[in-house]
Chain A
Amino acid sequence: MIELLTDIEVMSRIQFAMTISFHYLFPPLTIGLGFILVAMEWKWLRTRDPVWERTARFWTSMFAINFALGVATGIVMEFEFGTNWSEYSRFVGDVFGSMLAAEGLWAFFLESGFLAVLVFGWDRVTPRFHFFATLMVCLGSTFSSIWIVMANSWMQTPTGFAVEPMLRDGIPWVVDGVVVNRAVLTDFFGALLNPSSANRITHVWVGAATMGSFFVLSISSYWILRGRHMAVATRSFAFALVLGAIGTVGAMLTGDANARMVAVHQPVKLAAMEGVYETRDALTPITIMGVPEDSKSRLAYEVPIPAGLTALVYRRLHDEQGRPLAVPGLDFAPPESRPKTMLVYASFHIMVGCGTLLVGLAGLGVYFWIRGTLWNQRWLLMLFVIAVVPAAIANQVGWYTAETGRQPWIVHPASPRVDASQGVMSPLWLVNPEAEGDSRVRQWTPGDPVAGLEGWYYPYGYRISSNSDGGHRLLGLAEDLPDGEALVYDGTRSMRTSEGVSRSLRSSAILWACLMFLLIYVLLAVLWTVVLNHKIHTGPDDDIPEDDQGGIVVAMRRAVGEITSMTGLRRRGDSP
């Protein structure tokens, strides 16, 4: 335990995990709520029904609090790249930095610019313009999710770059006898549209839609159960239910697409997610639950469904020759290139479990809504009140899966498709850790037979293995590729997490930072709960004194506009 506290890498990871987990409570909520706000305001604009206005106003004030916290907690991460991960920043700055800067310039300014109008501008701009501002805030937060997820996806499946030594005074820069390399951008759009970008962005969006809609569902069903604010509550519920159904079903579909993408580009991550330790020459089962034991390389207490994983990954069970298709296991990578399975496996299964629950709940909701008896199903409404918790958990642990699954890499080895028949790839050097002396390394060109290469590793990368029949193929992964193409992992184009941490850090400083953030986040969590609780109890349309109605939102609105008649708003020149 004490060793952990003095390990700079572990502490930096804990710090980053803590700050980003807390931050990520808010963005999916505001993105999802943004979709709903746009729909509600559109409805108000079309009908001019005051109930819609009250509805939109209430959810806007909810949006505002969460958005402010999202902004305040989000700035932290951008600077942590520099403070704790400066070696990483140097390596990826050329590629990753430009995406962050683009996010700031093209997304953050858009959302923060129009947020003021959205929150404080109800009485200052026309309804049309207010709708436009809502749309812009929603677009801005969606853009920002695109940029940041593309940046993260580049760390998972990097493309569009080359690695070259850094120059200082015109010569390669050597620190402690090692040349300092960096990734340089060769193709901006190639880097943005890397193989995992599109899949992961859509998964984040449906996650956000689920989060936002179940947040609204929770509060609305609470009101319905108490018989309060019925007009606002039932309308909000209906809107959120539609989005929730789309979100949860979408999460299932995009989740499947993501897993298949991971199977091709990060096979070891998939093996950890599913707890597959051993690559067998047989159909791979899927486990509903189990306890991964890295020390024994096995999954204890497993509940397997035979051939399940093979079917999900390949959509068939056998190849053209009738041989069984296997999903690569953790033994596909050398031990030092495997993640700690427990965290990956647990978070992935919790996410899937929560997702399944939410799909079922949304399905039941839609069913009773169509039957017209939804408001009488008190048990279901009670479930909807608490369902926001699994929605938030699913969003959190989904990211834990993605980020712990790629360990020990901070920039995962790229997997370019190589046309082996044309020999475009230069020879690769393979390493056999069990061999002695010169025979530890040998050259291999993609397209060469792989028989006899069992036990050989790409440096940093994955093991080549052939099937028991000695067939000339890379195991498993190349199944979907045209003949003659193979996936090749290039370990020199990657970075280990341990190499990315700042050189100058002392663990005491990180410990203090962690404690400081823990303190303020606990405080924030308590306050957030109190304020939300108050807002929910006050509701959208209770006529209570302004003073108690609370929230800086109201206080500010009072200061800026609404109450000006009381204190006397005087434009310059109006004064007597």
Chain B
Amino acid sequence: MNPDLLTLVETGLQSAVQTPRVAEIMSPDWLCHLWFVILCFLLTGYAILDGFDLGVGIIHFLVARNDRERAAQAGVIGPFWDGNEVWLVTFGGALFASFPLAYGSIFSAFMVPVMIVLFCLILRATSLEFRSKAGSRFMKFVWDLAFSVSSLLATFLFGASVGAVMGGIPIDDSGALKLGDSAGMLAEITFAITPLSVASGMLAVTLFSLHGLLFLNLRTTGDYQSRVRKAFPPLYAAFVVVFVVTTILALRDLPPVGRSAIWIAIVATLNVLAVLNLPRAMYYGRPWGAFMSSSLVIAALVFLFGRTVHPNLLTSSLDPSWNIDIFEAASTKATMLTMLVVVCFGVPFVMLYTAITYWTFRGTLDLSDDDAQEDLH
């Protein structure tokens, strides 16, 4: 290239970076906020996408009547679950890269729950992969049960961990979990059990099952779909009860948020509207509307979670000065900028792959088992 042109481009870039606004956005503090937002985005993506296949797992026995229908039901999420879990992997990698201190502290504190979740995720994939290989009806049932229980347990632990992080955990000044000297066998789990964490675990379970049900509603038709619809009211009722209880507990336990209360108010209102829209969309027979509403509920809850903990990533229940906030946990500016470039180039492609997958496997199916129907008639 012409050297003059190169110099010109270089000076142009330099002056662009030196303008106060860009410099301000690219300041380390701004990058920390930006990366917090990116993490929330990845977490939202994971919760919405893997949420539906975890949900389908939780309600595995709710709609399907026999193992043929359960096989078909598992087939509905077959092409998607693997890609959905990549969001979790990317979330983990991004947390590692952007806030290594928090990554280390959070995961080492939650070592036992995390290991159980990983165990469940492996068991889920395994039972999904092998259920149809089982020779006997009994073994098929065992795999179905494993699939369902591992989905349930993983979801509960995800939700409960989020609740525990919101409420704060006993970490000391080195950022490590502090269990008393006389800590019992199960101390690595019991430290995280609070009313709020249990409630948010239940919230995740009910919300994901609802979300999974709405995904099945979206992707199926015929007799099977009508059974899906019949299962909606009781699940919805359970979700609303847990939702209200969790909200009350959160308002009671969490410190009031000052500055940006207006945003919390707006999103919380949207959230309630989306919750109310669910039965409406189902009543008018709009599967997309219903699924979008439950996705919106998930997104809003992740936002509220993020806004509550921000600017902390992990709060210490022992001493507020031991909280790990985004500024002290952050990587260097160079890494955050490099990773920003990685994200900017990566995300459009991720969107493209996701779109291709969902476009290829569009359409609805009737999963009802004809033999079973004949039995009924």
Show the binding face of A for B, using Cβ within 8 Å: 65, 68-69, 71-76, 78-79, 81-90, 92-98, 100-106, 108-110, 112-117, 119-121, 124-125, 166-169, 173, 175-176, 182, 184-186, 188, 502-506, 508-509, 512-513, 516-517, 520, 523-524, 527, 530-531, 534, 550-552, 554-560, 564, 566-572, 575
Contacts and interface: CB of A to CB of B under 8 A. Distances in A.
Most buried by B among A82, A505, A512: A82
A182 to B, nearest CB: 8
B176 A503 contact: yes
B115 A513 contact: yes
B296 interface: no
A134 B353 CA distance: 13
B94 to A, nearest CB: 5
Given A78-B89, A101-B96, A560-B365, A117 B360 contact: yes
Contacts of B345: 106
A265 to B, nearest CB: 24
B332 interface: yes
Contact of B108 (A69, A504, A530): A504
B126 interface: yes
Nearest to A548: B135
B289 interface: no
A86 B104 contact: yes
A175 B171 CA distance: 13
Given A109-B86, A116-B361, A79 B118 contact: yes
A351 B67 CA distance: 46
B363 A571 contact: yes
Given A502-B176, A516-B115, A560-B78, A82 B188 contact: no
B125 A69 contact: yes
A100 B98 CA distance: 11
A96 B104 CA distance: 13
B342 A65 contact: no
Interface string B96-108: 1111110111111
Given A98-B342, A504-B177, A559-B78, 13 more contacts: A68-B129, A72-B126, A75-B121, A89-B104, A90-B104, A93-B331, A94-B332, A104-B86, A105-B350, A124-B360, A504-B108, A555-B132, A558-B72
A505 B114 CA distance: 13
Interface string B355-366: 011001101111
Contact of A105 (B75, B121, B222, B343): B343
B71 interface: yes
Nearest to B354: A113
B194 interface: no
Nearest to A514: B115
B110 interface: yes
B361 A509 contact: no
Nearest to A189: B338
Contact of B331 (A94, A105, A113, A120): A94
29 contacts: A68-B128, A73-B122, A75-B118, A82-B96, A83-B114, A90-B175, A93-B100, A97-B97, A97-B335, A98-B335, A100-B96, A101-B94, A101-B97, A106-B346, A116-B80, A182-B100, A184-B332, A184-B334, A502-B176, A504-B109, A506-B183, A524-B126, A552-B130, A552-B132, A552-B133, A555-B71, A555-B75, A569-B363, A570-B366
A560 B79 contact: yes
Most buried by B among A102, A120, A557, A569: A102
A499 B132 CA distance: 46
Most buried by A among B83, B173, B185: B83
A569 B199 CA distance: 41
Interface in B13-44: none
Contacts of A95: 335
Contacts of A551: 132-133
A81 B104 CA distance: 8
A164 to B, nearest CB: 9
A180 to B, nearest CB: 8
A-side interface mostly: helix
Interface in B110-141: 110-112, 114-116, 118-119, 121-126, 128-133
Question: Which are the 3 A-B pairs with shortest beta-carbon distances?
Answer: A93-B100, A559-B75, A82-B107
Given A93-B103, A109-B86, A516 B119 contact: yes
Interface in B316-342: 328, 331-332, 334-335, 338-339, 342
Contact of A559 (B103, B111, B365): B365
Nearest to B97: A97
Contacts of B334: 184-186, 188
Given A114-B356, A167-B328, A65 B104 contact: no
A411 to B, nearest CB: 13
A82 B103 contact: yes
A97 B96 contact: yes
Contacts of A557: 75
Contact of A83 (B107, B354, B356): B107
Contacts of B118: 75-76, 79
Contact of A572 (B112, B121, B221): B221
Contact of B132 (A550, A571, A572): A550
A115 B346 CA distance: 18
Most buried by B among A112, A119, A169, A560: A112
B222 A570 contact: yes
A81 B353 contact: no
Given A76-B118, A508-B185, A113 B357 contact: yes
B263 interface: no
A104 B132 CA distance: 30
B114 A97 contact: no
Contacts of A93: 96-97, 99-101, 103-104, 331
Contacts of A516: 115-116, 119
Contact of A527 (B79, B92, B94, B133): B133
A94 B179 CA distance: 29
Contact of A570 (B119, B343, B360, B364): B364
A168 B360 CA distance: 50
Contacts of B101: 90, 93, 166
A185 B98 contact: no
B367 interface: yes
Contacts of B342: 98, 101-102, 105-106
